[in-house]
Chain A
């Protein structure tokens, strides 16, 4: 094998080629990341919207049944004032409901996690209430809290508090025994161990609950608007459907989707901040 005897010169270009291949692989991986995180989701939306448009033209679907994507977009623009007004109202409803659920859910869960009497007394009641479909309670809220914002907030609150309770309790109870021992061996009181160790330990779990709660709060507010309100995107969807103004109903749906995603992202961002990049949040 004379080639190997004078091996060095042919060896060099081989190494270079290998390097180039690695370079290509790195670039293609980066390209792959962009593809999966950005290009593919966009392509997915384009595909669905394209099929939607195609179905309308091919099957000649009337607008009051399924408006075209272009029509929905157009309605979003022309009816922007009305949509903005109702979106603000829905946002008010679910935000108040969500914050009430968060602010009462965490302390209540703490009580349930620490007091056997409290958990024995209340936990079965909470489970029983939660096993009922809460949208079925919506008409009753109308009776109790009257027509309007209060009922929306009430339903949003009732739906949103459950995941906060469950996740907070689970998080507080999950403290490893050794961390508890550690706190005690440092002379920590129960309260001090709670504030310095147990509560921070539970934060990722609490935020997992809050993320579920925010989406549920929106559902609750919309159900409240369906049943007993004269404002909000839920009300708008009901009233426009009755008038066969389907494009506006679709525009309202798009607004709800955006609201949902933005508020979910907001809770996620706050959660990441608070939990400092820990797993689970």
Chain B
């Protein structure tokens, strides 16, 4: 799968924050191997260390224990071969859409003009042709996030990390961006780690869904999503899809992250067909 594209490996990774002496274990132990070129979503309750995991992979924060490899390389500091998209679009307000994308090249001391064509193509691809010279304040939330996705794609990096990239958007915009992102991903197939709160978003896009437990975070289960690609929105009403979603949701019920209020029903005590017993 995806020859020459780097895979990612976490081995015994632990993270303890100790800002004022009080230790807070964010991640207790994560072992995970991500095949090169696969799309992996990480779902879990708030504060389970999803973002921490991602920042450690990018080499932006240090891990307390364990090893993280990208391909054969041990992560020891900030990685320039990892593209990032954050929940807030992190666009620079003083740069136009095009200039925001080209920041990638400028930061790497590469010539802007060598990347201008590709930047235009990417804007086209994310549906923002004609918005090259607009400033972020002139764009809607969805458009801003599209620019920030295009920016992450400029250098054709082998690994992409997205931390709840569409979390702040309305449901419809969100669906559209998920569909568009699938399309873009399928072209170059980088290894993707996609952190999300949305079970739907995770199942729809991924090859693997990594379910994390509440803090201290560890991997509760890795679910392989064996649904054919390319995936269409209609897939969401299929039985196979529904089973995967239910599987993840039941895990959340088990954790007590999702709770229901009917008397006499224990957490997770759902019937096979998903209705309450």
- Closest Cβ of chain B to A184, distance in Å, is 4
Q: Using A182-B86, A186-B107, A187-B108 as known contacts, say yes or no to A278 and B60 having CB atoms under 8 A apart.
A: no
Report which of B78, B86, B92, B135 forms a contact with A187, defined as CB distance below 8 A. Answer: B78
In contact, A185 and B78 (Cβ under 8 angstroms): yes
Q: Using A178-B88, A182-B84, A182-B86 as known contacts, say yes or no to A188 and B107 having CB atoms under 8 A apart.
A: yes
In contact, A276 and B135 (Cβ under 8 angstroms): yes
Residue A29 at the B interface, CB < 8 A?
no
Report which of B60, B88, B92, B106 forms a contact with A185, defined as CB distance below 8 A. Answer: B60
Contacts of A178 in B (CB 8 A): 86, 88, 90
A170-194 CB contact bits vs B (8 Å, 1 = yes)? 0000001011011111111000110
Per the 8 Å Cβ criterion, residues 125-174 of B in contact with A are 135, 137
For the complex with contacts A176-B90, A182-B84, A182-B86, 10 further pairs of A-B residues with Cβ separation under 8 Å are A179-B92, A181-B84, A183-B107, A185-B83, A186-B80, A187-B80, A187-B107, A192-B109, A193-B107, A203-B94
Contacts of B88 in A (CB 8 A): 176, 178
Contacts of A192 in B (CB 8 A): 106-107, 109
Q: Using A192-B107, A196-B103 as known contacts, say yes or no to A185 and B82 having CB atoms under 8 A apart.
A: yes
Q: Using A181-B60, A181-B84 as known contacts, say yes or no to A278 and B106 having CB atoms under 8 A apart.
A: no
A interface bracket (residues with beta carbon within 8 Å of B): 20 to 34
Q: Using A184-B78, A187-B80 as known contacts, say yes or no to A276 and B94 having CB atoms under 8 A apart.
A: yes
Interface residues of B (CB under 8 A from A): 55, 58, 60, 78-80, 82-84, 86, 88, 90, 92-94, 103-104, 106-109, 135, 137
In contact, B80 and A181 (Cβ under 8 angstroms): no
Residue A201 at the B interface, CB < 8 A?
yes
Whole-angstrom distance between the alpha carbons of A188 and B103 in the complex? 10
Q: Can you give 14 contacting A-B residue pairs, CB < 8 Å?
A: A179-B90, A181-B55, A181-B58, A183-B107, A185-B58, A185-B60, A186-B108, A187-B107, A192-B109, A193-B107, A196-B107, A200-B94, A276-B94, A277-B135
- Closest Cβ of chain A to B64, distance in Å, is 19
Report which of B58, B84, B92, B135 forms a contact with A200, defined as CB distance below 8 A. Answer: B92
Per the 8 Å Cβ criterion, residues 156-215 of A in contact with B are 176, 178-179, 181-188, 192-193, 196-197, 200-201, 203
Nearest chain-A residue to B88 (Cβ)?
A: A178
**Chain A binding surface, main DSSP class:** helix
Contacts of A276 in B (CB 8 A): 93-94, 135
Whole-angstrom distance between the alpha carbons of A188 and B104 in the complex? 9
A25-50 CB contact bits vs B (8 Å, 1 = yes)? 00000000000000000000000000
Nearest chain-B residue to A195 (Cβ)?
A: B106
Contacts of B108 in A (CB 8 A): 186-188
- Closest Cβ of chain B to A202, distance in Å, is 11
Residue A275 at the B interface, CB < 8 A?
yes
In contact, A185 and B80 (Cβ under 8 angstroms): yes
Whole-angstrom distance between the alpha carbons of A183 and B108 in the complex? 10
- Closest Cβ of chain B to A108, distance in Å, is 24
Most buried by B among A185, A200, A277: A185
Question: Which 3 pairs across A and B sit closest by C-beta, in order of nearness?
Answer: A187-B80, A186-B107, A184-B78
- Closest Cβ of chain B to A183, distance in Å, is 6
